[in-house]
Structure 1
Amino acid sequence: MDNQTQTEIEAAAFRRLLSHLDSRKDVQNLDLMDLAGFCRNCLSRWYMEEAQERGVEVSKEQARERVYGMPYEQWKERYQTPR
């Protein structure tokens, strides 16, 4: 497999992960952390850090919007349940 194909597959898998997380808004970040050791916020931080390593400025808010599919505050208001 060449590097381009590998990158395309990895990008598709990332988009699929985001789609899956979007379809499971009932799963809270705390649940993800307890079971998987990462959450949506971790994923958005990794996205931001990888962009920065490549010289692309992505703010925390922009990265979270990419992962959550909407501004983070809006997602929290709509989907985050009290613990």
Structure 2
Amino acid sequence: MVDDVIDHDGPTPLYVQVADAVQARIEAGELLPNRPIPSENQLVQEYGIARGTARKSIQLLRERGLVVTVVGRGTYVVAKPSTEEK
């Protein structure tokens, strides 16, 4: 449950907690490569955060190399190259 993931009173900034939660969903295969992640508005609703916090979370995911934003289309999980190919 989302409330188990986000600690609104904890020492870790909310945007980091949300980015970590989305990253965990990517790593678990819940959010698939080349598919969109939840929008800013969806993150606001899902985690009970401000829109600026959602935006900063997505920015952090981009900095981590996990997602790419396509202007006017959304933010998508980056396709990881297969480590089996060589």
Tell me the TM-score range normalised by the shorter chain: 0.3 to 0.5
> What's the TM-score, normalizing by structure 2?
0.32
> What's the TM-score, normalizing by structure 1?
0.33
Q: Relative to total residues, which structure has the larger helix share, 1 or 2?
A: 1
Work out which of the two has the higher radius of gyration on C-alpha atoms and give 1 or 2: 1
Q: Relative to total residues, which structure has the larger strand share, 1 or 2?
A: 2
